[in-house]
Chains A and B, each alone.
Chain A
């Protein structure tokens, strides 16, 4: 009965939401036309480079008339808004929102690159690279949270693993040994989180906070105590770029996707693998059961605490991989607090991606894009405060948890103790 009574209310809300979205599309279109279309003087061209340093095939750069292109993109936004207001896209509305925002951003790029050139492939490449630790961190978070344990310690796990990767990799003279130890260090912190929150019933957020502080303190202390004195312990080297034959020669996407180092390939494997495992395997069904309704899971014979221990340790190991990326995949040395809040962006990406591996990867790409765009704009000397772009991931996450754009629903038992009766 109550569901029937609630139905008109929800549909009224969705009608209002549909109208709001339509207006948003229109507004994006008009804003794009005003700022980026009429903002660029007519007769200028925006040039987009389509080559990266490593590509074999040379593509001619794409030169577009700035004003006309921006106006076209703005028109698409307005058109989408008009359809949304009259017919409505229904369930596809969120997707269309993505398209509209995409057009807006493209129009912005056209405006930013007017009478100038912008290396499109380079920017997308850096987007992908910047999204690697965020994606892996988000995967770590969702492995834990799908089983009902909140993990806000992604940052601490990444930082510790980054340190471990640097020092062990240098001492052993092998990036592989560094990688393995970094993953183990992440797993160890995962185990600590699991023991604290499951065995000693510490509040999971407090437990995560402890790990974050501990990791920051230990790595800063040890890097001042050891790495500062023995510089040679802080040069682990990096994993080489592996070019996949043939595929890496494809223009544009080749160098982007198939000429990267180990971490990027591992990331793709993990995103797809975890997605399949979580939604298509018996293991995944059990994990989700434990995260949604542990009592029911227990009743049918699933070992709730066992599943949680395993998942949190696994999550720690994935966070360890994310941490290793900083020292062994990207920078090649450890610096104090080098993760710089990436663990919290990963948390945001996990929420933005609605506790779903593919979604988390998509969110990480969006956040990585904001980060790389900020960098590009600095090079183009666009007079726009980069801080607001850096804020975007956090604002987007707040909008999602507040239900402004869609609704994020976490696993029902996320953060709750399970005590066997």
Chain B
């Protein structure tokens, strides 16, 4: 029986295995602990900003049980309502998916740029770029749905791609840091939007306020039955798959990752760093443009001035999802759930919806600082998973 020998072989492979498993566990553990910590801190904020509960705590010496039970009631009813509003019934679930759609796309945009070593703070401006083109296509042309909708989506992608590629071009040609240029381009886009909404091309006839025309029926993302969730979510998930395939199964993706890891080495290997920056920013911009378009054609149907507020969420999602498309999708579903549940939370527990923003900021903070999470929960660092500095110096 020579079958005794094979076990020796796995034993040789065995030692690395627990380590790799622990890396996987840790990769999940840190985000989960980050989420948990953020919810705890969010709960504390709720307790001390609710007038009645805060009053109970002010007289905690006389009746400590009352203060604690009131706090518990408040926080549990708030988070209970949040969960109920996000997952409690099919309508809630539909709202969660609806809210997740643009978040997935915008998160992918930032994640893709991260992989190429670029910090895209410009999702907000690229969203506007995409909406300006897609809305024009959507309310001007008159075509059947099967043609009109795809053209509008492509227009949105191209509009965002154009806006994103400006930052890529500036970085490639002049070395201008993309964080600065994308922030500036956000505000330029915002002012352009306000300007266009007052021109006859965009402004709704008969209106004096800056509100765009409504997109044609044939350019709208069809919804599923009676629920508000629409084909946008399918589009977003498909896009996530495409981004994953592009990043990890194609030479372009390899080039992105090589340039992101070490631009000098990539240049030495004969890759065009400048070309990669332009392409990566164009694709990232396109994804953001698609995010704005999905929201435009699936939910709001018209444009009004102002940022949509997905830009900062997108950074959070890319970090929380560790710049992996699957991670981004899961993170976006979480943030979508928070957004969807927030209204019910406000209605039931009287906790303002903006607490969600606080919780999201705390999530990114904890995710970005694994050393902090380790310190709180006394986890010893077992692996080398540390967030590397993503941005290079302004000067580079």
Contact = CB atoms under 8 A, between A and B. Distances in A.
A20 interface: no
B33 to A, nearest CB: 14
A221 B187 contact: no
Contacts of A358: none
Interface of A is mostly: helix
A200 B371 contact: yes
A135 B168 CA distance: 29
B120 to A, nearest CB: 11
Contacts of B391: 150, 203-205, 415
A229 B184 CA distance: 36
B191 A206 contact: no
- The binding surface of chain B is classed by DSSP as helix
Nearest to B319: A206
Contacts of B357: 213, 216-217, 220-221
A401 interface: yes
A403 B176 contact: yes
B361 A217 contact: yes
Interface residues of B, number: 55
Contact of B372 (A200, A213, A404): A200
Nearest to B51: A229
A70 B391 CA distance: 48
A206 B364 contact: yes
A222 B352 CA distance: 8
B145 interface: no
Contact of B184 (A203, A206, A398): A398
Contacts of B361: 210-211, 213-214, 217
B360 A347 contact: no
Interface in B351-395: 351-352, 354-362, 364-365, 368-369, 371-372, 386-387, 389-395
A398 B45 contact: no
Interface in A203-244: 203-207, 209-214, 216-218, 220-222, 224-226, 229
A201 B386 contact: yes
B184 A394 contact: yes
A207 B364 CA distance: 9
B316 interface: yes
Interface in A332-348: 341, 344-345, 347-348
Interchain residue pairs A-B with the least CB separation, the first 4 = A217-B357, A221-B354, A214-B361, A213-B361
6 contacts: A201-B369, A218-B358, A221-B358, A229-B51, A347-B183, A401-B181
Interface of A: 145, 150, 152, 196, 199-207, 209-214, 216-218, 220-222, 224-226, 229, 341, 344-345, 347-348, 351, 385, 387-388, 390-391, 394-395, 397-398, 401-404, 409-417
Interface of B: 45, 49-51, 119, 121, 170, 173-177, 179-181, 183-185, 187-188, 191-192, 194-195, 198, 312, 315-316, 319, 351-352, 354-362, 364-365, 368-369, 371-372, 386-387, 389-395
Given A196-B369, A210-B365, 5 more contacts: A220-B357, A385-B198, A391-B192, A394-B185, A414-B394
